[in-house]
Amino acid sequence: MVDIARMTSPEVGEAIKNGYDTVVFAVGSNEQHGPCLTVSTDAVLGDVLALGVTKRLGDALKAPTIRVGCSEHHMTFPGTITLRKETLHELLRDYVSSLGRHGFKRIIILPSHGGNFGPLAEVSGELREMSPGIEVIVYTDLLEFVELIMKTSDGLGVSHENAGAHAGEAEVSMMMYANPEGVRKECIPDAKGYVGAFDEEATKKIFANGIAALSPIGVLGDPKDSSREHGKKYIEDLVEAIVDFIKAM
Ligand SMILES: [Zn+2]
C-alpha cells in the first residue's frame, strides 16, 4: 500500500520510518474535456500517473491529487471550476509544508493539466526555499510533456494532430484505460476539435483568449482512433519518462 489516502496514520508513519521518504502528488483540474470525457479527467489521470511513478520509484508514497487547478481558459464551458493562481500557490505551500513536517525527504509534484505548468514553475523556487533539507522536484515543462505524448502517438501510428493536447485521441485513450465510465463513447464521432499544430503560438492563444478560440467544442485533437490499449501505452510511457526525469535531477 503506497497511497496515503487509503492508509491509516500509523501505517503512513511506519512507512516513512521504514524509508518511504519520497512523496509524489499530481496537480490536476476540474474542467471541460469536450463531449466525450468527464470534467474530472485531469484529476483522474493525475491519480494514475502519480501512482505509477510512486510504484516505479519504490520507497515512495502517493499523496492525494489536487483535484482543481488553473482553468480560466476553459471557463466558457459549464462544469469547469478554476483556481486563481494565488490560490493554487497557497495550496502548494500548505501541501509541501505539511508533507515536510512528517519527515518526507523528497517531494515530487506532477502537473497533469496544461494550465498548471506555468503557475507551478512560478512557485517552485519558493517551495524549495521554504523546505531546507528537503528535495522538492517540480515537473514544469509543458511542451516536453506534450512531446512525450506525441512520441507515443508516433509509435501507435496516430498523427500528432489527432492525438491532440486536450480531449483528443491521447486523453480519450488514457481515460478508456484508467476510467472507462468517464468516457462517452457514443460522442466520439462528433468530437473532432482543433487539429492544427500545438506550438507556442497555439498555447499563447489558448491562455490569452480561451480554448474556444481554437475549438468551439473545447477539443484539441480527434479521438476517432482512441482505444484502451493505446491508453495503457500512453500512461506507461509517460510514467517511464517522468521517472527518468526524476532520476536525472
Ligand atoms: Zn486534460
What is the CATH classification number for the domain harbouring 50?
A: 3.40.50.10310
* Residues surrounding ion ligand 1 at CB below 5 Å: 41-42
pLDDT confidence of 146, banded at 50, 70, 90?
confident
CA–CA separation, 75 and 219 (whole Å): 14
Q: Mapping DSSP to helix (H, G, I), strand (E, B) and coil, where does residue 31 land?
A: coil
Secondary structure E strands in the chain? 22-27, 60-62, 106-111, 135-138
Q: How far is the CA of 74 from the centre of ligand 1 (A)?
A: 11
Find the 93 Cα to ligand 1 centroid distance in Å: 24
State the distance from the centre of ligand 1 to the C-alpha of 10, rounded, in angstroms: 35
**How far, in Å, from the CA of 130 to the mean position of ligand 1?**
30
- How far does residue 218's CA lie from ligand 1's centre (Å)? 11
pTM for this model (two decimals): 0.95
| pLDDT greater than 90 at residue 198 | no
Spacing, Cα 78 to ligand 1 middle (Å) = 15
Distance 114 CA to ligand 1 centre (A): 7
- Sequence-distant (≥ 6) Cβ neighbours of residue 64 within 8 angstroms: 4, 5, 25
DSSP assignment of 41-76? HHHHHHHHHHHHHHHHHSSEEEPPPB--B--GGGTT
Residue 34 is classified by DSSP as T
Closest CA to 59 of 91, 20, 7, 15: 20
Q: What is the pLDDT of residues 156-195, one digit of tens each?
A: 999 999 999 999 999 999 999 999 999 999 999 999 999 9
Distance 167 CA to ligand 1 centre (A): 6
Element spanning 40, H or E: none
Ligand 1 geometric centre to CA of 31 (Å): 8
User: Residue 132 C-alpha to ligand 1 middle, in angstroms?
Assistant: 33
Cα(225) to centroid of ligand 1, in Å? 17
C-alpha span between 6 and 16 (Å, rounded): 15
25 contacts 50 by C-beta, under 8 angstroms: yes
For residue 209, the CA-to-ligand 1 centroid distance in Å is 18
Domain housing 63: 4-248
User: Parallel, antiparallel, or unpaired: how do β-strands 60-62 and 135-138 relate?
Assistant: unpaired
Number of domains in the chain: 1
Tens digits of residue pLDDT in 15-65: 999 999 999 999 999 999 999 999 999 999 999 999 999 999 999 999 999
